[in-house]
Structure 1
């Protein structure tokens, strides 16, 4: 097995895995894992989280009424979107779920200064990037009939995430 160095400096192994695939794997697992942990903090109080009751109270205070419904929705969205992205499974859907949730997080924290909405903005940007790039070769989506990526699927995922966020903001 020898590696081939192409003109654009992407090294590819004999199995077809490129450096970009490894980079996407690291980014997906790191980002998706952190987002899933964040959701589990809301839902279950794991990883020193507040748990559902305290999160529901906080959501109620931010104008998301009923607080328990919206706290559960946010926690499940972060957990599900994060796990889908970490696994590289149904990547555009995972990206849309994460993006919609982060748009709401940005909206809820934007009046409290940059430091409060900075992290949701980073999560939103990463979600958009994964929507367009796809998960790479080292993912459960790779080579499957349902694998989708590229401009059309990325734009669709962004549209779904934005629409879901706007519906949530209108209903809250």
Structure 2
């Protein structure tokens, strides 16, 4: 084609196996343009230059042309794209590709299983969060024996309780041993029986009182089963204090009381004090609750000691101490 020829060459008979190829001119259709060609000005406005709208064919042209061959598809009309703004590209939203129903789960089918058995795959988790440091494992500690716990704020209390126990216990032991074996000028059981001669059962009292003194004295010195033997010491000293007060004849005049009455009262008060304070840690009862915080046992055994002293006076001496 020469430079002077502004119209495209018409296809010859040798092109496209003897078929006419539609041609067009940019400005206007040529005079010799064959039927079926489309001019550029006749194209719909707003269309894409790369898209050509093929005219519908009918009759013999549709069956004898290139598209009339066996296996060839019918010509389809390609609609022009109409963007919302010039040179704007179509945009897509995520919901255009979302699964029906708004679900994010996906179903997959295995080839070796029936299609009726879908396998639901959970959606992939979101971005991994920062790793959380595991909690430290608890450190196993050996059980603490409460008996081994020492309260250092107690100071010298335990040592003071040991001295009280030692003095009271030694006095009870020496008094009982002197009575049984007549040591230190003690008249022994016969002399004690003579002292109790005015009571209902002097022989029994002469054996019961020193026996209570000896048992209570030994266990108080050791600090063993302290509530029980402090109770026995309270019974013995209370009987001795009442006996001394009765035989003195002083009555309720405290200034006329002899030293034997005051000594018996001091011993009675010491046994009651040990009942409420406990033996302390300097004892064989250091692991017991009454060695640290005596409460219920103290009141219980004090009531038993009072009941025992009343019973001893009632049945041993034949005197009602409550009268």
Report if TM-score (shorter chain) is over 0.5: yes
Q: Which residue of 2 aligns with 1:3?
A: none
Aligned residues: 157
TM-aligned CA distance change 1:41 to 1:149, over 3 Å? farther
Q: Render the CA deviation track for 1:128-164: whole Å, top value 9, x for unaligned.
A: 1100111111101111588685222111121111111
Larger relative contact order, structure 1 or 2 (CA cutoff 8 Å, min sep 6) = 1
Would the aligned equivalents of 1:90 and 1:146 in 2 still touch at CA under 8 Å? no
Please tell me the root mean square deviation across aligned C-alpha atoms, in Å. Answer: 2.2
The structure with more radius of gyration: 2
1:118 paired residue among 250, 257, 262:
262
Q: Distance in 2 between matches of 1:73 and 1:98?
A: 12
Q: Which residue of 1 aligns with 2:195?
A: 58
**Structural mapping, 1:42-81, within 5 Å:** 42-61=179-198, 63=199, 65-81=200-216
Task: Tell me the secondary structure at the aligned position of residue 183 of structure 2.
Answer: coil
TM-score w.r.t. structure 1 length? 0.82
From the two aligned structures, give the one with the greater helix fraction. 1
Q: Distance in 1 between matches of 2:224 and 2:279?
A: 8
Q: Render the CA deviation track for 1:107-129: whole Å, top value 9, x for unaligned.
A: 21213132231111111110111
Would the aligned equivalents of 1:91 and 1:141 in 2 still touch at CA under 8 Å? yes
Q: Compute the displacement of 1:17 (Å).
A: 7.7
Q: Compute the displacement of 1:165 (Å).
A: 0.6
Q: Render the CA deviation track for 1:6-57: whole Å, top value 9, x for unaligned.
A: xxxxx94xxx984111111111111111111112222222343221121112
Q: Distance in 2 between matches of 1:17 and 1:48?
A: 43
Q: Distance in 2 between matches of 1:166 and 1:88?
A: 26
Would the aligned equivalents of 2:280 and 2:291 in 1 still touch at CA under 8 Å? no
Task: Tell me the secondary structure at the aligned position of residue 190 of structure 2.
Answer: helix
Structure 2 residues without counterparts, runs of 5 or longer: 1-150, 251-256, 317-323
Would the aligned equivalents of 2:281 and 2:291 in 1 still touch at CA under 8 Å? no
TM-score w.r.t. structure 2 length? 0.45
Q: Distance in 1 between matches of 2:157 and 2:285?
A: 16
Q: Which residue of 2 aligns with 1:89?
A: 224
Structure 1 residues without counterparts, runs of 5 or longer: 1-10
Q: Does 1:101 align with 2:245?
A: no
Q: Distance in 1 between matches of 2:310 and 2:268?
A: 15
